[in-house]
């Protein structure tokens, strides 16, 4: 940086792109503040940390303004929106039905990079064979920073024009397709209830985000879905805008006091066919209290089995631990969905989860299988993400969904509005990817119906 505050770095001055041969992670790259870049990978929609002009103010604070103070002012600062930066943003009107949301939808200006629709290719249904333990040298740490093998490496750094900047009409069309205003059954319903436990003992890998968005996507497309929030932090309840303050009947009452699930499940406002069993902070004590309860590992399984209504899907959002709450989820489920963040350390600790799943299968729930792996927070600017994806696909094969969830700022903004990204910005790449993942899950379910747990 020069004394007068100017930078020589072309990424800061906007004078040019980056070197394609540079193997270093570009996580900290900023999109040029003085004009649009010709390099699509550093455009605003692909760079989470920098606030876009149309990014809403959340709780009076614009999120993630991580540009150092000594950098030139952002476009946002130069072109104020007319609302003081510290003014509270008006909360969006609650969505009332997916038809209302579709009617309300206005694609954000600036072209969020919604991908071109892709039909998932028919593929073999994953078998129920136990997942082998990961080899001791996984993750292949040495390989992550190294140059990829030229014969297998497919760069995602040069997206096609359509992927990067879809016409607004296409984005709007995609939004309507995702919101499905007609309410028709456009994702096939399984013959029997699929109880899916969304687990990974690592925190922050996208368990809750995945639970909420898959549940909303399936419900918008005609499936009856129940979300059981099993994390005392109650993030899934927040994401679905379901009250979960102290005193609200919650999953703790079901586990400890045997209250029927139907008495605590709440309909999710604005999303037909979707219900949520919330978690309050009371659940934090359940891990200890369960120790002395009869049949402590199968309390949730019994509660779900006793639910009088029929669901197509029950998603259980697990806490980031392998304690009794997660064991309850594994005993209640037939399938485990493991979200894996496309980051370094992604596979570390997975061995422990797989071992626990194998133990639960041997002793408590013989039907349990790891049916689905979903790659989350994929950052196409980094080779690390490609390397992690390759490792995961090599190890788990066709259990890994073809759909990969990109890192997308709309996904992380949605919960602060009490919404999923499917309704918050249905034209965004995040919504599109979760929609594709839900579609794949639904199609796999009808190719090989999973036997009912109860
Ligand atoms: P977990 O439930 O595994 O702890 P979360 O779903 O709460 O993980 O995600 C952790 C954080 O990452 C949250 O702040 C969430 O908004 C954010 N996040 C999740 N998925 C994405 C994504 N695809 N793009 C951007 N941010 C994401
Ligand atoms: Mg969570």
| Residue whose CA lies nearest to ligand 1 atom number 24 | 407
Check pLDDT > 90 for residue 443: yes
Lowest mean pLDDT among 46-60, 163-177, 259-273, 409-423: 46-60
Q: Identify the CATH assignment for 191-447 out of 3.30.300.30, 3.40.50.720, 3.90.1150.10, 3.40.50.300.
A: 3.40.50.300
The fraction of the chain above a pLDDT of 90, given in percent, is 53
Looking at the CA of 410, name the nearest ligand: 1
Cα–Cα distance measured from residue 273 to residue 267, given in angstroms and rounded to the nearest whole number? 8
Q: What is the mean pLDDT of residues 275-300?
A: 93
Looking at the CA of 199, name the nearest ligand: 1
For ligand 1, say whether the CB of 408 is within 6 Å of any of its atoms.
Answer: yes
What's the pLDDT at 371? 97
> Could you tell me which residues come within 8 angstroms of residue 26 by beta carbon, excluding any fewer than 6 positions away?
18, 41, 381, 382
pLDDT in tens, 192-242: 999 999 999 999 999 999 999 999 999 999 999 999 999 999 999 999 999
Mean pLDDT, the chain, as a whole number? Answer: 74
Residue tagged 């899950």 (tokens): 441
Cα–Cα distance measured from residue 131 to residue 450, given in angstroms and rounded to the nearest whole number? 17
Looking at the CA of 338, name the nearest ligand: 1
| Residue whose CA lies nearest to ligand 1 atom number 16 | 412
Buried-state track 88-122, b at ≥16 Cβ within 10 A, e below 16: ebeeeeebeebebbbeebebbeebbbbbeeeebee
For ligand 1, say whether the CB of 372 is within 6 Å of any of its atoms.
Answer: no
What's the pLDDT at 169? 81
Q: What is the mean pLDDT of residues 407-419?
A: 96
CA dihedral in degrees (392, 397, 401, 407; nearest 10)? 10
Check pLDDT > 70 for residue 81: no
- Give 171's pLDDT tier (boundaries 50, 70, 90): confident
Q: What is the DSSP letter of 433?
A: H
* Top mutation candidate among 113, 206, 375 for ligand 1, by most atoms within 8 Å of CB: 206
For ligand 1, say whether the CB of 201 is within 6 Å of any of its atoms.
Answer: no
Give this prediction's pTM.
0.69
Pairing between β-strand 266-267 and β-strand 274-277 as defined by DSSP bridges? antiparallel
Cα–Cα distance measured from residue 239 to residue 258, given in angstroms and rounded to the nearest whole number? 26
What's the pLDDT at 168? 81
Highest mean predicted confidence (pLDDT) among 322-336, 343-357, 376-390 = 322-336
């Amino acid at each position: 940086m020069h004394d007068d505050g100017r930078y020589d770095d072309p990424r800061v001055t906007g004078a040019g792109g980056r070197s394609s041969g540079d193997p270093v992670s570009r996580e900290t790259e900023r999109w040029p503040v003085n004009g649009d870049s010709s390099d699509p990978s550093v455009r605003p929609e692909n760079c989470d940390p920098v606030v876009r002009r149309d990014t809403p103010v959340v709780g009076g604070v614009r999120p993630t303004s991580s540009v150092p103070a000594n950098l030139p002012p952002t476009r946002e600062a130069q072109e104020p929106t007319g609302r003081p930066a510290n003014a509270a943003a008006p909360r969006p009107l609650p969505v009332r039905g997916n038809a209302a949301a579709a009617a309300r939808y206005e694609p954000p200006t600036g072209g969020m990079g919604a991908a071109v629709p892709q039909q998932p290719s028919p593929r073999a249904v994953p078998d129920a064979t136990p997942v082998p333990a990961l080899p001791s040298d996984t993750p292949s740490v040495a390989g992550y920073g190294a140059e990829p093998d030229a014969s297998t490496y497919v760069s995602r750094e040069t997206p096609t024009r359509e992927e990067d900047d879809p016409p607004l009409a296409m984005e709007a069309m995609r939004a309507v397709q995702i919101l499905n205003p007609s309410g028709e059954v456009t994702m096939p319903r399984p013959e029997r209830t699929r109880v899916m436990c969304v687990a990974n003992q690592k925190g922050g890998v996208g368990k809750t985000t995945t639970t909420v968005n898959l549940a909303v996507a399936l419900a918008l497309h005609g499936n009856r879905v129940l979300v059981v929030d099993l994390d005392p932090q109650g993030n899934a309840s927040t994401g679905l805008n379901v009250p979960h303050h102290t005193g609200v009947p919650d999953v703790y009452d079901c586990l400890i006091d045997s209250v029927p699930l139907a008495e605590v499940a709440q309909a999710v406002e604005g999303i037909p066919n979707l219900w949520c069993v919330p978690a309050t902070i009371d659940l934090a004590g359940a891990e200890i209290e369960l120790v002395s309860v009869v049949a402590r590992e199968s309390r949730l399984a019994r509660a779900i089995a006793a639910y009088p209504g029929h669901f197509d899907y029950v998603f259980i959002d697990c806490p980031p631990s392998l304690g009794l709450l997660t064991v309850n989820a594994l005993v209640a489920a037939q399938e485990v969905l493991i979200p894996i963040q496309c980051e370094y350390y992604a596979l570390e600790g997975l061995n422990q989860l797989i071992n626990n799943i194998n133990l639960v299968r041997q002793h408590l729930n013989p039907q349990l299988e790891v049916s689905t792996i979903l790659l989350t927070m994929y950052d196409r600017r980094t080779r690390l993400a490609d390397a992690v994806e390759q490792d995961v696909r090599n190890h788990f094969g066709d259990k890994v969904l073809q759909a990969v969830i990109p890192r997308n700022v709309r996904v992380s903004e949605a919960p602060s509005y009490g919404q999923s990204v499917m309704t918050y910005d249905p034209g965004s790449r995040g919504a599109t990817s979760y929609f594709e993942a839900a579609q794949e899950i639904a199609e796999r379910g009808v190719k090989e119906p999973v036997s009912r747990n109860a």
